[in-house]
């Protein structure tokens, strides 16, 4: 599916709305985490240090592919490098969401992956979600570690930090973040009660992800 790029005005409004959704779903808190989406004239991204509850479209920053601010009165997110690296590595990406959700962050604190234990994580994310090697926030090292951990998938954990997810648009990126958090919660619950995790067969996982990408996701968008 070809990406449908938003206008600057529409992208800024969509990011503010997404910030409210992330807060309501407890995927972020305060001003932590960040959101971006491609526009026709650059990358719209949340500003550094502003809480989602007071964020307005005028607060959103537009940067170029090198991270230089084109439009906006604020400093762009400290994780701009991570967002830019994902757009560069995955041309099909149209939006990126970085979350600090509880269960994904718990596994990230243990430097553990999210195994492919439920069907929807392989359908949506593409398989087992890897935990990136630790790197300081805001650095190119973190951006490089995230891209390496993504390894063709739509999500990864950031060690001692949180998670980062991408999608063709903001709606899909949010879906990835929600499914990742659900899977992480299941894993933590299984570990806490001493249960054994049974990962899905690799061939089955690939088949389910392919079906989602080629058919089910299109049905969700009303294209099939």
Q: Catalytic residue at 112?
A: no
Q: How far apart are CA 70 and CA 145, in angstroms?
A: 27
Q: How far apart are CA 218 and CA 200, in angstroms?
A: 24
Q: Give the burial class of 77: count Cβ atoms within 10 A of its Cβ; 0-12 exposed, 13-18 middle, 19 or more buried.
A: buried
Task: Evaluate whether 84 touches 34 at the Cβ level (below 8 Å).
Answer: no
Helix orientation angle between 102-109 and 170-192, rounded to the nearest 10 degrees = 60
- Left if phi > 0, otherwise alpha if psi is -120 to 50, otherwise beta: which for 33? left
Q: How far apart are CA 83 and CA 97, in angstroms?
A: 8
Task: Evaluate whether 122 touches 177 at the Cβ level (below 8 Å).
Answer: no
Q: What is the radius of gyration, based on Cα positions, of the chain?
A: 17
Among the listed residues 79, 172, 178, 181, the single catalytic one is 79
Task: Evaluate whether 122 touches 216 at the Cβ level (below 8 Å).
Answer: no
56: tokens are: 């307005």
**Hey, which residues are catalytic here?**
79
């Amino acid at each position: 599916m070809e990406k449908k790029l938003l206008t600057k005005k529409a992208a800024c409004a969509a990011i503010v709305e997404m910030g409210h959704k992330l807060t309501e779903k407890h995927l972020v808190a305060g001003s932590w985490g960040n959101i971006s989406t491609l526009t026709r004239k650059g990358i719209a991204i949340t500003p550094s240090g502003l809480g989602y509850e007071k964020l307005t479209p005028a607060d959103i920053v537009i940067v170029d592919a090198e991270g230089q601010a084109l439009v906006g009165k604020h400093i762009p997110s400290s994780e701009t490098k991570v967002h830019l690296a994902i757009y560069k590595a995955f041309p099909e990406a149209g939006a990126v969401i970085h979350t600090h959700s509880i269960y994904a962050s718990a596994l990230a604190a243990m430097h553990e992956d999210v195994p492919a234990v439920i069907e929807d994580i392989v359908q949506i994310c593409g398989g087992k979600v890897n935990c990136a090697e630790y790197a300081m926030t805001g650095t190119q090292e973190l951006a490089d570690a995230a891209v390496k951990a993504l390894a063709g998938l739509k999500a990864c954990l950031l060690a001692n930090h949180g998670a980062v997810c991408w999608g063709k648009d903001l709606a899909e990126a949010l879906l990835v973040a929600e499914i990742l958090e659900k899977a992480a919660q299941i894993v933590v619950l299984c570990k806490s009660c001493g249960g054994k995790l049974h990962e899905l067969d690799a061939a089955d996982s690939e088949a389910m992800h392919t079906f989602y990408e080629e058919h089910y996701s299109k049905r969700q968008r009303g294209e099939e």
